[in-house]
Structure formats: structure tokens, C-alpha cells
Amino acid sequence: MSESENKGILRFLGICAVLCILIFLIIWYAPSIFKAKPTTVEYNGFHFEKVGALWYTQWQNGPYVYNVPLRYNPEEVQDVKIIGELSDKFNDPEKIYVTFDPNQNDTLKWVALAKGELIWSLIGPLQKNATDACSASSAECEGFPIVDCSNTDKSVIYLVPAKTSKVIAEGTCVVIEGSEIELTKSVDRFLYQWYGIMK
């Protein structure tokens, strides 16, 4: 066998060896590289399952068990800070007013999304008497009460579009802040504390 044939065979064997190593590495590491995001999460004794875009968990209030849908699971909202504390007066009102500034037209769709999720939990599983309100007069708010955090005789949740996601609790008012879809993340963080799932 000539020297050139030997070199050709060695080159072929070398290529085969490299291909075998590459195939082995792909088979070995592919499951971790292409691993799908988990569709279930266990947190503080609660089981969460993702269905579509929402996470569901079961939560009991008295004799009733609710399937609670939230946009984020608890692990996804741990970075949202809750600052301050509410007074005892907040927890036992005739009504909870969920309010927002109607003059921020460019953010209203995100506020509406966050408010819808919040009010569903309030009047459903949490069994609170929640009502829509606005912080200022406008055509969109005709017929709604005008309420903000200065109304210390009322329990108020104020949804505020802001760059930073956080929840500020003071007295009888909760201010929930976040940018665009992140506003719903702050809402979920607040609800997880209210449900007793997170501290």
C-alpha cells in the first residue's frame, strides 16, 4: 500500500473518529440543552401546573377549593420586593377599591390586564368585595368612584405603571408598580402573599 493511500486511510479514520465524538457529545448533552421548561412547580406545599399561558394551583378558603390561575409561578416573582406593612383596617373593609390613573393612555392595556387578574382573585377565592375606581376624573371613569391613597378611610389597591417592579404597603393602601406586563408580575407577587403561599 502506497504512502498516499495510508495517509488517505488515516485521514478517513480521523474524520470518522471526530464524527463519532461529535455524535456522542450531541447525544450526551442534547437533553440538557434542549430540555423543555418544566410545566409543574412545587412551592411551599403547593403544586403548580402550567396550562397555556397561566399557572394553576388549588387553594382552599373555608369549605371551598379554588383552582387559582396566575400568570407567574412563585419562583418567577421572588425578585419583586414587598415594602412596608398594611394596617389591620385594610383587611376588613366594606369594599376594596382597585384604582388607577386613567390619564396614562399608553399603559392602560397593561393596567387593565393586571386589574382583571387582581379583581378575579379578590372577588373569587379571597371572597372580598372589590370594586373598580379611578384616581382622577376622565371620560373612561364616568360613574366610577374617584379614590387614591389619600383616602385613608378606604382600603385601596393602586396600580401604577413604573420602571421598577415592587409592592408598597402603607396603612390602608397598597401601591403595585411595574412596567407593561411586569405590572401583572407585581400583582401576582402581592396575591401570593395574600394567599399565604409566599411571605
Residue among 153, 151, 160 at smallest CA distance from 103: 160
Q: pTM for the complete prediction?
A: 0.80
pLDDT score, position 37: 65
pLDDT-derived band at 106, boundaries 50, 70, 90? confident
Residue 5 domain-assigned? yes
Across the chain, mean pLDDT equals 86
Give yes or no: residues 19 and 84 share one domain: no
Residue 11 domain-assigned? yes
pLDDT score, position 3: 55
Instruction: Give me the sign of the Cα torsion angle 15, 16, 21, 27.
Output: positive
Report the CATH number that the domain containing residue 159 is assigned in CATH.
3.30.379
Give yes or no: residues 117 and 188 share one domain: yes
C-alpha distances (whole Å) from 76 to each of 101, 119, 182, 184, 185 are 27, 21, 11, 12, 8
pLDDT average, residue stretch 108-125: 94
pLDDT score, position 94: 78
Residue 53 domain-assigned? no
Task: Look up residue 138 and give its three cell numbers.
Answer: 376622565
The number of folded domains in the chain is 2
Give yes or no: residues 101 and 182 share one domain: yes
Query: Which is it for strands 155-161 and 173-178: parallel, antiparallel or unpaired?
Result: parallel
Give yes or no: residues 85 and 25 share one domain: no
pLDDT-derived band at 1, boundaries 50, 70, 90? low
pLDDT in tens, 48-67: 999 999 999 999 999 999 99
Give yes or no: residues 113 and 28 share one domain: no
| Phi-psi region at 117: left, alpha or beta (left = phi > 0; alpha = psi -120 to 50) | alpha
Q: Which residue has the higher pLDDT, 5 or 190?
A: 190
**Parent domain of 10:** 1-35
- Percent residues over pLDDT 70 in the chain: 80
Residue 154 domain-assigned? yes
